[in-house]
C-alpha cells in the first residue's frame, strides 16, 4: 500500500513538475523499485549543464520505462524533453521522432488537443522525400480510372486559371483593356479559365462582357456566385431557373462556385451546415436540369478552418468538383524552433481536402496565392513566396494528380481587414518570373477539353531499368532549399538547384538490383539539411 501510494503521489508530482518546467527530486523508499525518478532527475541535471546528448539518453530511458508501466502521459513528457534537447543540438529529424512519440502517448490518455498540437509541431519540422519519374500516358491508360470523368474535367492534366480583374497591367475596362485578352501575353501562356465574382439576385447579363471575352478567347469561367443578402434569398423561384437557363445559353464552360468558403465566419452567407447543404442542393438540382452540358457545380470551402469543413459537404450527387481556397501569408509566430521563421508548407494545406475527396471528385484550387509581404512588419518575403509558389506548381502534377484545375489569385488588395494581401504578379517581377516558369510545364492545360499524356509515376518499391527523368517532392525543416543531390551506392548521380528537383538518371546499370537512392537537401546558405532515402528494385 505504501509503495502504491508513493507511486501515485510521485506520478502526480512529476507530471506537475514537467508541465511547469520545474525540476523535482523524488526520494522513493526503495531506490531500486523507483529508479525511473532518479533517471529523470539525472536527465534534468545533464540538460541544465548543456550535456544534451547525455540528457537525451536519460529522457529516452525514462520514457521507455514509463510507457512500459502504462504511465503514458509522463512518458510523453519525457519525449517532449528529449525532442527539445535534440533541437538544441540542431538534430531536427530526431526531434521529430521524439515528438511523434510524445503525440502518440498523449493520445493514449485522451489528451487529444495536446496530441494534435505536438503532431503539428513535428510536421512543421518533418523531413520527407517522395520521388517520381516522368513517363508518357497512352489514351488507353487514361481510360483506366476509378470513376467517370466529371463535367469539364480533363482526363489528365491541370486546367490553368487565374483571377486577374484587378491587375491593371492587363485589365482596365474603361480603356477597353480586358484581362482575358491580355493575360496570355502577360504570363507567357494561355489560361483555360478565369474567376469572376457574381452577385446572386442579379441577371447573368451583368457579366456579359466577361462572357463575350470567354467566347472570344476560348476560355472557361469560374463563376463565384455570392448570395450577399444571406442564404434566405436563395429560393426555388423564377430567378434561379432563369439564371441556369442563361448559363446554359452562354456558350462557355462554367464552374459554378456557389457560396464559397462557407466554413469560415467572414462571409455574408454564413449559415449552419444544414441550411447551406439545403441551398447548395437546390442550386445544384436546378443547374443540373437546366444546364447539364456546360455547367459544373463546384463546392469550394476554405482550407481553414478545417475542423468543420466536412460538415458542409452537400453530397456526391450534388457536387461535380471539390474546390478549395488555398492561401499563405508569412507568419513566423508558430515557428517550433522559435527563430522567427515561417516553416509551414503552402501546398501541405491541401492535404486534408485531397485526402477526403480526391477519390470521389476532381479537385480544384478555386483561388489561392502566397503573399510576398509579411504584412504585420511590412517586410518583403519574396524569396519565401517564390519558393512556395514553385513548390505548389511543381508538386501538384506529381503528388496530387487528382487536382484538375488551379487558379492563382493575382491581386494586391485589402480583404475584410486593413491588411493588404500581396498575391499580385504585376508588382513583383520575381513572382511573375517564377509563375511563368512554373506554368510552362505542359501538364498545365490552356483550354477545357485538352489533356496531356505526361504523367508522373511514384517510386515506391520498384523503378524501371531505363534512363529516366527523376523529380521529387522534398520537404524539410528549412523553409527554402537551394540544392538537392542524388546518390546511389554513395556515388553522386545527379544535382539540381530548383523544384521539382529534376535530374536524369540511368538505371540500366542497376538492373535486377535493389538500390537505395539517397536524397541530400541543402538550405539557401548551402548547408546540409537532411538526407532521406528511397529503396527500390530496378526491374
Q: Which residue has the higher pLDDT, 335 or 146?
A: 335
Question: What are 427-456's pLDDT values in tens digits?
Answer: 999 999 999 999 999 999 999 999 999 999
For 260-279, the three-class secondary structure string (H helix, E strand, C coil) is CCCCCCCCCCCCCHHHHHHH
The size of the chain, in residues, is: 539
How many Å apart are CA 223 and CA 294, to the nearest integer?
A: 12
How many Å apart are CA 429 and CA 165, to the nearest integer?
A: 19
Task: Burial-class residue 492 by CB neighbours within 10 Å (0-12, 13-18, 19+).
Answer: exposed
Give the position of cell 538547384: 497
Lowest mean pLDDT among 410-424, 436-450, 489-503, 521-535: 410-424
pTM over 0.85? The answer is yes
pLDDT recorded at residue 138: 58
The set of cell numbers assigned to 447 is 483550354
Q: Sorting pLDDT into bands at 50, 70 and 90, what band is 334? A: confident
**Cα torsion angle, 475, 477, 482, 487, sign:** negative
Which three-class secondary structure state does DSSP give residue 391?
helix
Domains and CATH numbers, the chain: 2-126 (1.25.40), 157-340+362-380+402-436 (3.20.20.80), 459-538 (2.60.40.10)
Give the pLDDT mean for 84-88.
97
Q: Which residue has the higher pLDDT, 104 or 6?
A: 104
Strand spans (E) along 77-170: 128-136, 158-163
For residue 153, give Cα distances in angstroms to 253, 260, 450, 451, 495.
Answer: 11, 20, 9, 9, 36
The H or E element that residue 35 is part of is: helix 35-48
pLDDT recorded at residue 2: 36
DSSP 157: S
DSSP 148: P
The answer to whether residues 100 and 74 touch, using CB atoms and an 8 Å cutoff, is no
Residue 240: count of CB within 10 angstroms of its CB: 20
Give the pLDDT mean for 263-269.
93
DSSP 118: H
| pLDDT over 80 at 32, yes or no | no
Give the position of cell 518583403: 380
| pLDDT over 60 at 496, yes or no | yes
Amino acid at each position: 500500500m505504501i509503495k502504491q501510494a508513493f507511486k501515485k503521489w510521485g506520478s502526480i508530482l512529476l507530471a506537475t513538475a514537467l508541465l511547469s518546467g520545474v525540476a523535482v527530486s523524488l526520494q522513493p523508499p526503495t531506490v531500486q523499485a523507483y529508479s525511473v525518478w532518479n533517471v529523470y532527475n539525472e536527465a534534468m541535471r545533464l540538460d541544465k549543464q548543456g550535456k544534451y546528448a547525455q540528457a537525451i539518453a536519460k529522457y529516452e530511458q525514462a520514457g521507455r520505462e514509463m510507457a512500459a508501466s502504462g504511465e503514458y502521459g509522463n512518458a510523453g513528457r519525457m519525449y517532449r524533453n528529449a525532442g527539445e534537447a535534440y533541437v538544441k543540438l540542431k538534430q531536427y529529424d530526431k526531434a521529430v521522432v521524439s515528438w511523434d512519440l510524445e503525440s502518440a502517448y498523449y493520445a493514449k490518455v485522451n489528451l487529444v488537443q495536446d496530441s494534435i498540437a505536438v503532431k503539428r509541431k513535428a510536421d512543421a519540422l518533418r523531413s520527407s522525400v517522395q520521388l517520381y519519374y516522368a513517363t508518357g500516358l497512352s489514351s488507353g491508360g487514361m481510360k483506366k480510372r476509378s470513376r467517370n470523368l466529371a463535367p469539364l474535367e480533363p482526363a489528365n492534366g491541370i486546367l490553368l486559371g487565374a483571377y486577374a480583374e484587378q491587375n491593371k497591367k492587363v485589365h482596365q475596362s474603361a480603356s477597353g483593356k480586358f484581362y482575358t485578352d491580355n493575360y496570355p501575353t502577360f504570363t507567357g501562356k494561355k489560361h483555360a479559365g478565369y474567376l469572376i465574382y457574381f452577385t446572386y439576385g442579379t441577371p447573368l447579363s451583368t457579366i456579359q462582357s466577361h462572357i463575350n471575352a470567354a467566347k472570344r478567347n476560348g476560355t472557361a469561367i469560374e463563376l463565384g456566385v455570392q448570395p450577399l443578402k444571406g442564404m434566405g434569398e436563395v429560393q426555388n423561384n423564377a430567378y434561379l431557373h432563369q439564371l441556369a437557363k442563361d448559363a446554359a445559353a452562354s456558350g462557355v464552360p462554367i464552374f459554378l462556385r456557389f457560396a464559397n468558403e462557407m466554413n469560415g465566419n467572414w462571409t455574408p452567407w454564413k449559415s449552419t451546415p444544414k441550411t447551406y447543404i439545403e441551398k447548395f442542393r437546390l442550386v445544384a438540382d436546378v443547374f443540373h436540369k437546366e444546364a447539364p452540358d456546360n455547367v459544373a457545380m463546384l463546392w469550394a470551402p476554405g482550407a481553414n478552418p478545417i475542423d468543420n469543413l466536412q460538415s458542409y459537404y452537400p453530397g456526391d450527387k450534388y457536387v461535380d468538383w471539390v474546390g478549395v481556397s488555398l492561401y499563405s501569408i508569412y507568419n513566423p509566430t508558430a515557428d517550433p524552433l522559435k527563430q522567427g521563421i515561417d516553416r509551414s508548407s503552402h501546398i501541405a494545406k491541401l492535404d486534408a481536402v485531397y485526402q477526403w475527396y480526391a477519390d470521389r471528385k476532381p479537385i480544384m484550387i478555386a483561388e489561392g496565392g502566397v503573399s510576398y509581404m509579411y504584412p504585420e512588419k511590412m517586410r518583403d518575403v519574396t524569396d519565401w513566396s517564390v519558393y512556395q509558389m514553385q513548390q505548389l506548381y511543381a508538386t501538384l502534377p506529381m503528388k496530387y494528380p487528382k487536382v484538375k484545375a488551379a487558379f492563382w489569385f493575382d491581386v494586391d488588395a485589402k480583404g475584410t481587414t486593413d491588411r493588404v494581401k500581396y498575391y499580385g504578379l504585376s508588382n513583383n517581377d520575381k513572382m511573375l518570373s517564377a509563375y511563368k516558369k512554373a506554368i510552362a510545364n505542359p501538364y498545365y492545360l490552356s483550354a477545357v477539353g485538352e489533356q496531356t499524356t505526361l504523367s508522373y509515376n511514384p517510386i515506391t518499391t520498384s523503378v524501371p531499368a531505363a534512363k529516366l527523368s527523376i523529380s521529387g517532392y522534398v520537404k524539410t525543416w528549412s523553409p527554402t532549399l537551394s540544392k538537392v543531390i542524388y546518390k546511389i551506392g554513395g556515388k553522386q548521380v545527379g544535382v539540381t538547384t530548383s523544384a521539382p528537383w529534376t535530374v536524369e538518371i540511368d538505371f540500366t546499370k542497376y538492373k535486377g538490383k535493389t538500390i537505395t537512392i539517397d536524397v541530400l537537401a541543402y538550405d539557401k546558405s548551402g548547408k546540409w539539411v537532411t538526407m532521406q532515402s528511397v529503396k527500390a528494385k530496378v526491374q
